[in-house]
Structure formats: C-alpha cells, structure tokens
C-alpha cells in the first residue's frame, strides 16, 4: 500500500498540550519561527487512505513522525471531507464554487481531481499560506486545468466582502469546508459560522472538523454535544448532523480504537437564503411592486 505525507492543519492552537499536537511531529523550523506555521506543520501525518504527492515539501527534513489513534481519526476525517467535496461539485452545473477554511497548508486544491469550471477559495493565515505556496510552486504543484484558485487572508477585516471582490457569488451553489483553521476561541468560530451563513445559498453544504472544546462539554457526552451543535448551527440557519468517525472508517474498510477523540466531524445544510439571494429577492420585489403601481396609475 502506498503511503504519503499530508501536512494539513492542526485544528486549533489551544490547548498547546493537546496530545494530537504532541504526538504527530517533533521538528525545528529552519526557515521561519512562526507559531501558526509551527502549529500547521505539527499536524503532518502518514495518510494511508489517499496519496498526496505535494505535502512532503511542506515538512522539514529529518522530521520524526509517530502514529496515534487520534491521527487515524484525522485521516478518516480528511478522506470523508475529500469525497464529500468532490461528489458535491461534480453534481453542480456551470461554475462550481468551493470555499476552504484551512491552516494555509491544505493541498486539496492541487491533489484532488476537480472538475472543470471549479473556483477554489482558500481562507487561511497569510504568513503560513505564503510560506506553503512558495514551496508548492518549487515542486511544480499546479491547479487542474480550467480551474481557478484564489486566496483570501484569514486576517481580512471582512472575509465575506473579500470573497465577493474575488468573484464569489452567493446566488450560485457552493460547498464550504473547514479543517485546520486555527480557532482560538468559540467567538472566532461563531464569526466564521456567521460569515458562512451569509455566503451560502439555501441547500448548500458546510462540512468539516471542529475541536470538541468548542462545545464546552465532554465529547463523550454525545447528547449534550449534539444539542449544543444543533442550537449553534440552527441559530445561523443550518441543519447540522454529527458524523461518526467509526461509521466512516467502517465504510472505508478501516477500524478505529474506542476512546476519546477531541474533534467533531459534521455536515450542515443551509436552510436560509444567502445575503446575495436576499438582495436579489428585494430588488425583484421592488420591481414587481413598481410595475404594479404603474399599472394601477394607468
């Protein structure tokens, strides 16, 4: 079986003593002592479920990697997100919009077989992204033909506006995914969720992996976590389902050990209109009302 390195994303830089972060990688950065870059590299792991020909260039030489059950969960989540993204965009007509919230070292834009007319928006920390893109270009990584890749700095004062300036259209279907985005607080995720709610048109999916500490409850207490997820996502217009790592692993012919896992895998569906859809509806309603008044005047 072929193995390869995928260096995509520590999910959260807090707490710093997270077992997942400790076990996956011990390395000294030779080019930049950047905390976000260091945290992103800390998630590098062997991925038996898929091949990544580019991630090796993102890992410093002489890196020592260890296997842990938590890293297996991460592999399962990555494969699940990959497959969901591709299945969804392959059923979109015309322009296909994909938004990735990542740590800046996500190789999905390069390694996945995107269909033509796919536009991929990457939202990630600027410093990490610039470091990664330089290394990826050095090894010849390229976006598939007839596709477009655009980066929006996570530090942007208004991410939704920045996306619109890059060409994102909330009147068209899209799929949005989050894995690896460095979330410092619950407030920071709520801001992301609010942004996603304004971007995604009704029926679109938002999926990914979140650190369980966001739920402020023990991950083992499934009912409490589900209730928290339901309340948070529904307040932003999404119907959310938690996805079982074990069921996904079984569907892939893999097995996971029982025990705590500090992350939540989810898929959410937008139930509301996007901001662009609402604006279009308002304009159309005004036009109809003006036409009606004109007919009454005549």
> Domain-by-domain residue ranges, the chain?
69-280
How far apart are the C-alpha atoms of 108 and 122, rounded to whole Å?
Answer: 10
30 pLDDT band (50/70/90 cuts)? very low
Taking residues 230-247, report their average pLDDT.
96
In 3D space, the residue among 132, 130, 95 whose CA is nearest the CA of residue 114 turns out to be: 95
Question: Residue holding tokens 């036009």?
Answer: 287
The whole-number pLDDT of residue 64 equals 60
Phi, psi (rounded to 5 degrees) for 124: -160, 165
207 or 5, which is more confident?
207
The whole-number pLDDT of residue 72 equals 82
What does CATH list as the number for 69-280?
3.40.50.150
The whole-number pLDDT of residue 295 equals 63
pLDDT in tens, 80-105: 999 999 999 999 999 999 999 999 99
Percent of the chain with pLDDT over 70: 72
Q: Going along 49-139, which residue ranges are E strands?
A: 64-65, 96-101, 118-124
Residue 47 has pLDDT above 50, yes or no: no
Residue 258 has pLDDT above 70, yes or no: yes
220 pLDDT band (50/70/90 cuts)? low
Within 10 angstroms of residue 253's Cβ, the number of other Cβ atoms is: 7
Q: What 8-state DSSP symbol labels residue 200? A: S
42 pLDDT band (50/70/90 cuts)? low
- Mean pLDDT is highest, among 36-45, 137-146, 281-290, for 137-146
201 pLDDT band (50/70/90 cuts)? very high
- Reduced to 3 states (helix: H, G, I; strand: E, B; else coil), residue 49 is coil
Spatial contact of 88 and 175, defined as CB atoms under 8 Å apart: yes
Taking residues 242-261, report their average pLDDT.
86
29 pLDDT band (50/70/90 cuts)? very low
How far apart are the C-alpha atoms of 192 and 238, rounded to whole Å?
Answer: 13
Spatial contact of 151 and 124, defined as CB atoms under 8 Å apart: yes
Q: How many CA atoms lie within 13 A of 142 on its CB side?
A: 4
Residue 276 has pLDDT above 70, yes or no: yes
Could you tell me what percentage of the chain is helix, strand and coil, using 3-state DSSP and rounding each to the nearest 5? 40, 20, 40
The answer for 100, left when phi > 0, alpha when psi is -120 to 50, beta otherwise, is beta
Q: For residue 90, what are the CA distances in angstroms to 40, 94, 97, 199?
A: 29, 10, 11, 20
């Amino acid at each position: 079986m072929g193995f390869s390195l995928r260096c995509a994303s520590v999910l959260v830089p807090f707490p710093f003593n997270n077992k997942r972060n400790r076990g996956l990688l011990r390395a000294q950065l030779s080019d930049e002592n950047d905390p976000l870059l260091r945290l992103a590299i800390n998630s590098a792991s062997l991925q038996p479920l898929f091949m990544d020909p580019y991630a090796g260039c993102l890992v410093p030489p002489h890196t020592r990697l260890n296997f842990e059950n938590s890293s297996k969960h991460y592999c399962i989540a990555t494969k699940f997100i990959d497959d969901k993204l591709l299945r969804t965009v392959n059923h979109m007509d015309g322009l296909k919009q994909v938004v990735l919230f990542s740590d800046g070292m996500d190789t999905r834009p390069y390694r996945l077989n995107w269909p033509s007319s796919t536009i991929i928006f990457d939202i990630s920390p600027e410093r990490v992204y610039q470091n990664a893109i330089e290394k990826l270009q050095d090894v010849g990584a390229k976006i598939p033909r007839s596709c477009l890749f655009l980066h929006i700095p996570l530090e942007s004062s208004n991410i939704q506006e920045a996306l619109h300036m890059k060409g994102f259209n909330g009147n068209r279907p899209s799929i949005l995914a989050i894995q690896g985005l460095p979330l410092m607080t619950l407030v920071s995720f709520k801001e992301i969720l609010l942004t996603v709610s304004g971007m995604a048109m009704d029926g679109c999916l938002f999926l990914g992996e979140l650190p369980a500490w966001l739920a402020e409850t023990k991950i083992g207490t499934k009912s409490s976590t589900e209730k928290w997820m339901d309340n948070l996502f529904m307040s932003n217009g999404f119907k959310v389902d938690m996805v079982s790592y074990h069921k996904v692993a079984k569907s892939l012919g893999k097995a996971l050990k029982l025990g705590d896992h500090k992350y939540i895998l989810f898929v959410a569906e937008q139930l509301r209109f996007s901001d662009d859809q609402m604006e279009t509806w308002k304009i159309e309603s005004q036009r109809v009302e003006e036409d009606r008044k004109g007919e009454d005047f005549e």
